Amino acid sequence: MNTNLIVLPVIVPMITGIILLFFYRQVKVQRVLAAISALAVMALSLYIVYAVQQQGILTLRVGHFPAPFAIVMVADLFAGIMISLSSLVSLACLFFSFGTIDAGKERHFYYAFYQIQVMGINGAFLTGDIFNLFVFFEILLIASYILLVLGGQAAQLRESLKYMIINMFSSVFFLLAVAVLYSITGTLNMADIAVKVSQAPEKGLLTAVSMVFLVVFGLKGSLFPLYFWLPRSYFVAPSAIAAFFGGLLTKVGIYASIRIFTLIFTYDTSYTHNIILYMSGFTMLLGVLGALSQNDFKRILSYHIISQVGYMVMGLGLYSPLAIAGAVFYIVHHIIVKSCLFLVAGLTEKVTGTTDLYKLGGLMKTHPVIAWLFLAAGLSLAGAPPLSGFFSKFALMQAGLQQGRYGIVFVAILVSFLTLFSMMKIFRFVFWGVTNKEHPPVQGLGYLSLVPPVAILVVLSVFFGLNAEWIMGVATASAEQLLDPQAYIQAVL
Amino acid sequence: MELLMSLVIGIMFAVSIYLMLARSMLRVVLGTVLISHAANLMLINAGLLKRGAPPFVTGDKNLAVVDPIPQALILTAIVIAFGVTAFLLVMAYRGYQELGSDDLSELRGVEDEH
């Protein structure tokens, strides 16, 4: 199916972003336009998921050039799920921004670059061309530099500088890998590359290229040993931005690695995917250990991003239908719950002015709504049974046990327990105990206006837990598509 | 010719990584500039430095033409690197103003961690 529909989730935020640049003084206009655009993208991406389920993989050859020469956009089920999630989280974080981002930032192009960021993320999910993937990565990175440093406080500048340099460095390696891949295959179309790679007589250099890609996407997705930049840079961002980045940015890297390691580099899975599996184990373990050593709400959550990313990559490393389905389900669960937890941290910061665990306490009495939202989201993150975290982890562990990978399953279970421990630590310090006299929380019910975006995400997590069979069915269908590159190749070429 | 180019690219990578390991902010920025140039050269090398006609459609099927794609890619990559470098320079300058130092070992930022 060749359709113009799938370019819209990229075009709509781009046009909105450009329009918003002209209205930088009228904050109200910016808010309304940004909200309309986010809602439109949400509707579009849900429709794309529906269309993919009805008609199979959708493609668009831009300019209608013949197959391997045109730049292609491809929406399979996995990409459809990802753009729906990205539009959901961007919508929630946008509404949260309305109440938490100060007016100075709003007047300095906050919403415009927010839209550009959404454009970059959706483009990275939908593109079928490896060089366009690079370009969309750059778009989302440039927007993220700006959103991270907006406000220009000393700590923000310090961390953004490091974040920028690291990402520039990884972009250079991305470009290198694309160059070498192009010199081997002579094409940039990912489906065509997959065909050429499977026919290539000499695979040695290709494996080297695949490892460069793993390093690049590992840096973006914060895999062991490339996650060091993440906790500090996410800590300095405003909560709405931290939630947006924490939910989506690393997942773009994970999405890209799942894409290329199920489509292109599948000729020697016992070597490449084994490396990925080991990386995932260390990522989980070291991420959660980092979280245990921290005493700040947002820092703990940042370290948990790292440990959670390990689970998704574990699914890729195991490389069986059930494991990939588990990974897809886990991504769905994680994006929702992680953004939600960061927004809860933002609510706490809004009412108390701090996220330091030792300066907080007793919020259960004064702000029970926040406490209950955190409890549901935190338990879901740790994997307590009726919530979405449990079923996604269950699928991954079942896949691990089926393949006899007991070591990684042990690590995954251990990390689950430690996650529960650190969620309880947050709960114990922030919500239980007595109110800290030196940092009294703001009284009143004004904070309730910020609750709806958070509550929607919590409700979705519970919903995905209670309807695990349905969402697992969707995840299994997308895993089948991912593990059958021929369908993708036929749709594109 | 490709061999010579490869050597040049290798030296550029070595120099830029040396610069990026320096403590001075400006040297790190220069390192990122140089490394993106090295990557661009690598891209042009990937298309092989064929000596052929410009890639225009002339009707002559036997005419050897240069592969235009790496050049198009480099053009894009140069624009991106240019924009990001400009932004990075402004950030480095603002950072120097706010933080009072361009020495990266003083910008570790551990004092606010427990």
Flag whether pLDDT at A473 surpasses 70: yes
Is A113 in contact with A141 (CB distance < 8 Å)? no
% chain A with pLDDT above 90? 48
Tell me whether A164 touches chain B (CB under 8 Å). yes
Q: Do B107 and A161 touch (CB under 8 A)?
A: yes
Flag whether pLDDT at A257 surpasses 80: yes
Compute the CA torsion angle B6, B12, B18, B20 (nearest 10 deg): -120
Closest chain A residue to the Cα of B71, Cα to Cα: A179
Measured between beta carbons, the chain A residues lying within 8 angstroms of B88 are: 161, 164-165, 168
Q: Rounded to a whole number, what is the distance in Å from the CA of B113 to chain A's nearest CA?
A: 8
pLDDT at B66: 78
The helix (H) or strand (E) run that includes residue B43 is helix B25-46
Tell me whether A79 touches chain B (CB under 8 Å). no
Q: Do A154 and B98 touch (CB under 8 A)?
A: yes
| pLDDT tens digits for range A205-230 | 899 999 999 999 999 888 888 888 88
Is A247 in contact with A335 (CB distance < 8 Å)? yes
pLDDT at A61: 87
Q: Rounded to a whole number, what is the distance in Å from the CA of B107 to chain A's nearest CA?
A: 6
Q: Do B107 and A180 touch (CB under 8 A)?
A: no
Closest chain A residue to the Cα of B86, Cα to Cα: A142
Measured between beta carbons, the chain B residues lying within 8 angstroms of A357 are: none
3 state SS of A314: helix
Q: Which of A149, A168, A179 sits opposite B32 (nearest CB)?
A: A168
pLDDT at A2: 65
DSSP for A398-465?
HHHHHTT-HHHHHHHHHHHHHHHHHHHHHIIIIISSPPPSSSPPPPSSGGGGGHHHHHHHHHHHHHHH
Q: Which of A159, A168, A175 sits opposite B43 (nearest CB)?
A: A175
Q: What is the mean pLDDT of chain A?
A: 89
Q: Do B91 and A155 touch (CB under 8 A)?
A: no
Q: DSSP label at A359?
A: G
Q: Rounded to a whole number, what is the distance in Å from the CA of B93 to chain A's nearest CA?
A: 10
Q: Do B46 and A183 touch (CB under 8 A)?
A: yes
Q: Do B20 and A153 touch (CB under 8 A)?
A: no
Flag whether pLDDT at A251 surpasses 60: yes
Is A217 in contact with A321 (CB distance < 8 Å)? no
B103 band by pLDDT with thresholds 50, 70 and 90: confident
Closest chain A residue to the Cα of B82, Cα to Cα: A168
Chain centroid, CA A162 distance in Å: 21
Candidates B79, B107, B108, B111, partner chain A, best to mutate (most A CBs within 10 A): B107
Q: Rounded to a whole number, what is the distance in Å from the CA of A131 to chain B's nearest CA?
A: 8
| Helices then strands, each counted (H, E), chain A | 22, 2
Is A271 in contact with A112 (CB distance < 8 Å)? no
Measured between beta carbons, the chain B residues lying within 8 angstroms of A138 are: 80, 84
Q: Rounded to a whole number, what is the distance in Å from the CA of A174 to chain B's nearest CA?
A: 9
The residue behind tokens 């020469």 is A69
Exposed e or buried b for every residue in A150-180, given b needs 16+ CB within 10 A?
A: bbbebbbbbbbbbbbbbbbbbbbbbbbbbbb
pLDDT at A25: 84
Average pLDDT over residues A309-330: 92
Average pLDDT over residues B32-46: 89
Half-sphere exposure of A386 (CA within 13 A, CB side): 7
Domains belonging to chain B, first-starting first, are 2-52+64-105 (1.10.287)
% chain B with pLDDT above 70? 89
Measured between beta carbons, the chain B residues lying within 8 angstroms of A188 are: 69
Q: Which of B73, B84, B114 sits opposite A168 (nearest CB)?
A: B84
| pLDDT tens digits for range B51-60 | 677 777 777 7
Tell me whether A129 touches chain B (CB under 8 Å). no
Average pLDDT over residues A379-403: 88
Q: Rounded to a whole number, what is the distance in Å from the CA of B15 to chain A's nearest CA?
A: 14
| pLDDT tens digits for range A32-52 | 999 999 999 999 999 999 999
Average pLDDT over residues A200-208: 88
Lowest mean pLDDT among A24-28, A189-193, A252-256: A24-28
Measured between beta carbons, the chain A residues lying within 8 angstroms of B92 are: 161
pLDDT at A356: 85
| pLDDT tens digits for range A321-368 | 999 999 999 999 999 999 999 999 998 888 888 888 888 888 888 888
A135 band by pLDDT with thresholds 50, 70 and 90: very high
pLDDT at A401: 93
> Token digits for B104?
């990266």
Measured between beta carbons, the chain A residues lying within 8 angstroms of B14 are: none
Flag whether pLDDT at A252 surpasses 90: yes
Q: Rounded to a whole number, what is the distance in Å from the CA of A295 to chain B's nearest CA?
A: 7
Measured between beta carbons, the chain A residues lying within 8 angstroms of B70 are: 179, 182
The contacts of residue B5 (CB under 8 Å, 6+ apart) are: B41, B44, B45, B49
Candidates B88, B106, B110, partner chain A, best to mutate (most A CBs within 10 A): B88
Measured between beta carbons, the chain A residues lying within 8 angstroms of B80 are: 135, 138, 171
Closest among A298, A297, A422 to A361, alpha carbons compared? A297
Flag whether pLDDT at B112 surpasses 80: no
Q: Rounded to a whole number, what is the distance in Å from the CA of A273 to chain B's nearest CA?
A: 27
Tell me whether A159 touches chain B (CB under 8 Å). yes
pLDDT, greater one: A254 or A153: A254
Tell me whether A165 touches chain B (CB under 8 Å). yes
pLDDT at B114: 44
Q: Do A161 and B92 touch (CB under 8 A)?
A: yes
CA pair distance A481, A180, nearest whole angstrom: 27
Tell me whether A157 touches chain B (CB under 8 Å). yes
